[in-house]
Amino acid sequence: MRITDAKVVVTSPGRNFVTLKVTTDEGLTGLGDATLNGRELAVASYLSDHVAPLLTGLDPHRIEDTWQYLYRGAYWRRGPVTMAAVAAVDVALWDIKAQAAGLPLYQLLGGACRDRIATYGHANGRDIPELLDSVRARLAEGYPAVRVQTGVPGLRAVYGVHTTDGQGAAVAHQQARPLVEDWDTEAYLRHLPAVFEAVRAEFGPELPLLHDAHHRLTPVQAARLGKDLEPYRPFWLEDCTPAENQEALRPVRRHTTTPLAVGEVFNTVHDYRGLITEQLIDYARSAVTHFGGVTPLRKLFDFAAQYQVKAAIHGPEDISPVGMAAALHLDLAVHNFGIQEYSGHTPLTHEVFPHAYTFTDGHLHPGETPGLGVRLDEELAAAHPYEAAYLPVNRLQDGTLHDW
């Protein structure tokens, strides 16, 4: 079997997705997700101009060899654009291999370690009463765990607190320029313990609660927050300090027993090595899409397992159903699974990417369809072209651009 074509598809059924479609001379096609939120066209160009021409004629079964070829052959290794492109190829080849074997991908990864995949949903509100309503909605949908985010008194907008459509679903906003939000760290640190207190008072001590600090704190501030939240027993505090400085987590770990989760902006095992070996984190949060694919992420989780660090794959709305399916196959197969983030997608996105995975009673399963179990409706995808979109930036109340 040989690769005969590699095609990049960019579509925006509510938000932008970049998909690689690899075709073989035996008629099999594999899909890979290459979406990099806010920089989608950079990855599309990397794939079309630099990677796709190298794939024609290769044996799609040689997944490890192809991964090393693309990673080492670029010379400029790592980085989100490179690793998202490599991930798309890697996942597409796994999709082809599993289809050729007539098996769902998780069977090629060693088979299932569990019957279903526990998830957490996102609850948010502009204030505490609105957040409590959002938590109720997530529980009604069956989620066994909930991430809680709220607005902060005195701030106009806070990242992670979405405008909703009236039914509790987040409204995706395409932005031609980055939305500028304001920020006040002290106000946030004062407010958040009260948020957890209110949620615990309403829903009791058993509900696992998570929170994402979105890299906004210094080590001392993060340690203080972790300590202040200890009475409410969070499932984890996520991304408490900027990801570029892994040493920042040493003082955080030293001063709080709140579990720590990081990694959604990491691209290789080198970002994690010290964090894992020094036991500075409890959960590894990278996405298949941004970490180079199934091949390296499986290796990371096997490494992390030796230190009792668990897998908790990043699963926001900007990971396409292709990337989500790859995550679920890996979730089912790895022994040290922790929890899976699941935000869902718009109905239109599900139409563009019909898939075999299911969400029932707060749990996911990748399905038994050979391969990833996801297809791409190219005609429908073409009807929804790319729209410029950026993540927000933050300024302090005096107008200074924040230095996170």
pLDDT digits (tens, 9 = 90+) for 54-65: 999 999 999 999
Mean pLDDT for the stretch of residues 137-158: 94
Q: Which helix (H) or strand (E) covers residue 332, if one does? A: helix 321-333
Q: Exactly one of 61, 69, 159, 307 is catalytic; which is it?
A: 159
Q: Is 217 exposed, middle or buried (0-12, 13-18, 19+ CB in 10 A)?
A: buried
Residue 181's pLDDT is 84
Distance in angstroms (rounded) separating the CA atoms of residues 18 and 373? 18
73 token code pair? 């052959």
Distance in angstroms (rounded) separating the CA atoms of residues 393 and 404? 10
pLDDT higher than 50, residue 395: yes
Angle of CA points 91, 80, 263, to nearest 5°: 85
pLDDT higher than 90, residue 172: no
Mean pLDDT for the stretch of residues 76-99: 97
User: β-strands 283-284, 260-262: how paired?
Assistant: parallel
402 token code pair? 């924040």
Distance in angstroms (rounded) separating the CA atoms of residues 364 and 213? 26
Distance in angstroms (rounded) separating the CA atoms of residues 188 and 185? 5
Residue 177's pLDDT is 82
Residue 166's pLDDT is 36
pLDDT digits (tens, 9 = 90+) for 246-257: 999 999 999 999
Residue 398's pLDDT is 77
Angle of CA points 335, 104, 146, to nearest 5°: 50
pLDDT tier for residue 182 given thresholds of 50, 70 and 90: confident
Q: Exactly one of 50, 61, 214, 255 is catalytic; which is it?
A: 214
- Tell me, yes or no, if 214 is annotated catalytic: yes
pLDDT tier for residue 175 given thresholds of 50, 70 and 90: low
Measured in whole angstroms, how far is the alpha carbon of residue 338 from the centre of its chain? 14
pLDDT digits (tens, 9 = 90+) for 116-138: 999 999 999 999 999 999 999 99
pLDDT digits (tens, 9 = 90+) for 211-247: 999 999 999 999 999 999 999 999 999 999 998 899 9
Distance in angstroms (rounded) separating the CA atoms of residues 316 and 391? 13
Residue 402's pLDDT is 77
CB 56 within 8 A of CB 107: no
Name 393's bridge partners.
180
